[in-house]
């Protein structure tokens, strides 16, 4: 019998984190390199705000929740100092990317840059207590709330009035972010956001016809029979479902947990590739061709988020389907993503499960999904271990 909890904890602290600590710190200009090849060598020096903020969060979270190791705090501060110095325009919006030296490359068109910056700074404030971290996290959160109804602002390419859609990602992230920043925010605001996101996810974006959750709906919540409206991103839904389960625990709401587990299992089944294994990246809910050419690829974050989801689902409900899926996902993930030779995990596989991009980090893959999932998994499986003699095995 394998001790899964220990396995995931060791992977986090002995493989993943050392890789980023060793290879991603830009000692000359500050911030983090994220374009790292298989061996961890830097192949491009651009700095993407999503990944700067997320790595600050990861190291702060490790310090807050795993071990008061001053080295973790140093890395988080190193990233925070760089984004505080270089990351914002004069209105306080975070750029999408900077060059190595910190000069802006891409304008603040993407509100998730702000979300992850606030998330990182908020977690660091918890660890460090320096006023500036907390203040900028709070100001950024308020700026996000101001921009939320028109998140792309002047960079939006949609023509207003013809097909006004809203997207599933922002309410999800706002709810997550409000919990991350709970120590900085008004309680009522957090509670309202939770109420709102539960309604949005489980009623508005929920598609009655299929029992799944689509990425985009009309402003009134109705289904849009268009490429955007038919789009389903299984990994995104499954990730959201473990987040809803956490809210269920917080509210002691079993029916909420059951609902999230049901949707997660349904989505996993729909997204699973019967031919080659693994979860497909995108599907059209009506089975039409999608616009995303990468639809059949197997992405690292999808699989580690699904592992977290099934571990939590089994722990909370004892549903044996969740245990079966956990085992399937565990086997697929460890045999396909992990790089025994150079450490860390690959990010992008083709449909057949072969490595598609020979990298450990890039524009979108950084120090976030894997460490967060490994942390969630070892904590969840630790509880599981305490509850049963035979944890998930």
Interaction site with a second copy (CB under 8 A): 35, 37, 43-44, 46, 95-96, 99, 103-107, 109, 154-155, 157-159, 161-163, 226-227, 288-291, 293-297, 348, 350-352, 356-359, 362-363
Give me the long-range contacts of 72-76 (CB less than 8 A, separation at least 24): 73/127, 73/128, 75/20, 75/21, 75/25, 76/120, 76/123, 76/124, 76/127, 76/128
CB 66, min distance to a second copy, A: 30
Residues near 154 by Cβ (< 8 Å), separated by ≥ 6? none
Task: Between 346 and 378, name the residue whose CB sits nearer to a second copy.
Answer: 346
Residue carrying the six token digits 């490359």: 105
- Identify the CA nearest to 117 among candidates 186, 57, 35: 57
Q: Do the beta carbons of residue 367 and residue 9 sit within 8 Å?
A: no
CB 276, min distance to a second copy, A: 11
Residues near 254 by Cβ (< 8 Å), separated by ≥ 6? 248
CB 85, min distance to a second copy, A: 16
Residues near 161 by Cβ (< 8 Å), separated by ≥ 6? none
CB 177, min distance to a second copy, A: 23
Q: How far apart are CA 45 and CA 214, in angstroms?
A: 35
CB 48, min distance to a second copy, A: 11
Task: Between 128 and 296, name the residue whose CB sits nearer to a second copy.
Answer: 296
Task: Between 65 and 226, name the residue whose CB sits nearer to a second copy.
Answer: 226
Sign of torsion, CA 104 171 235 308? positive
CB 355, min distance to a second copy, A: 10
Task: Between 43 and 269, name the residue whose CB sits nearer to a second copy.
Answer: 43
Please give the helix or strand (H or E) that residue 48 lies within, else none.
strand 47-48
Task: Between 154 and 187, name the residue whose CB sits nearer to a second copy.
Answer: 154
Task: Between 27 and 157, name the residue whose CB sits nearer to a second copy.
Answer: 157
- Identify the CA nearest to 79 among candidates 32, 21, 133: 32
Residues in the chain: 393
Task: Between 269 and 288, name the residue whose CB sits nearer to a second copy.
Answer: 288
Task: Between 70 and 161, name the residue whose CB sits nearer to a second copy.
Answer: 161
Tokens of 322: 């969740």
Tokens of 191: 């509670």
CB 133, min distance to a second copy, A: 25
CB 65, min distance to a second copy, A: 32
Strand 216-218 relative to strand 42-44: parallel, antiparallel, unpaired? unpaired
């Amino acid at each position: 019998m394998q001790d899964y909890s220990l396995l995931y904890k060791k992977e986090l602290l002995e493989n993943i984190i050392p890789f980023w600590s060793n290879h991603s710190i830009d000692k000359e200009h500050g911030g983090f390199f994220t374009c790292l090849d298989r061996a961890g060598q830097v192949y491009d020096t651009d700095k993407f705000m999503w990944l700067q903020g997320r790595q600050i969060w990861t190291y702060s979270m490790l310090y807050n929740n795993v071990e008061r190791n001053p080295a973790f705090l140093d890395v988080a501060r190193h990233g925070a100092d760089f984004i505080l110095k270089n990351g914002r325009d004069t209105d306080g919006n975070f750029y999408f990317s900077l060059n190595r030296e910190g000069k802006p490359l891409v304008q603040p068109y993407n509100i998730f840059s702000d979300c992850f910056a606030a998330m990182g700074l908020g977690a660091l404030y918890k660890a460090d207590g320096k006023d500036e971290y907390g203040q900028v996290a709070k100001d950024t959160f308020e700026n996000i709330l101001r921009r939320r109804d028109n998140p792309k602002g002047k960079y939006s390419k949609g023509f207003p009035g013809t097909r006004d859609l809203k997207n599933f990602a922002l309410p999800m992230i706002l709810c997550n972010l409000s919990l991350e920043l709970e120590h900085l925010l008004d309680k009522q605001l957090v509670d309202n956001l939770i109420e709102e996101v539960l309604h949005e996810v489980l009623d508005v974006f929920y598609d009655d016809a299929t029992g799944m959750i689509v990425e985009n709906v009309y402003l009134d919540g109705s289904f849009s029979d268009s490429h955007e409206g038919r789009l389903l991103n299984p990994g995104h839904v499954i990730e959201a479902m473990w987040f809803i389960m956490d809210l269920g625990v917080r509210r002691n709401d079993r029916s909420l947990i059951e609902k999230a587990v049901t949707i997660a299992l349904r989505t996993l089944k729909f997204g699973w590739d019967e031919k080659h294994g693994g979860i497909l990246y995108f599907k059209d809910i009506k089975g039409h061709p999608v616009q995303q050419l990468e639809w059949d690829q197997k992405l690292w974050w999808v699989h580690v988020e699904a592992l977290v989801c099934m571990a939590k689902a089994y722990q909370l409900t004892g549903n044996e389907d969740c245990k079966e899926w956990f085992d399937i996902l565990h086997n697929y993930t460890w045999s396909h993503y992990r790089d025994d030779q150079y450490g860390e995990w690959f990010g992008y596989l083709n449909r057949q499960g072969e490595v598609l991009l020979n990298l450990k980090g890039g524009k979108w893959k950084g120090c976030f999904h894997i460490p967060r999932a490994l942390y969630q998994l070892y904590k969840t499986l630790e509880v599981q271990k305490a509850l049963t003699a035979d944890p998930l095995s």
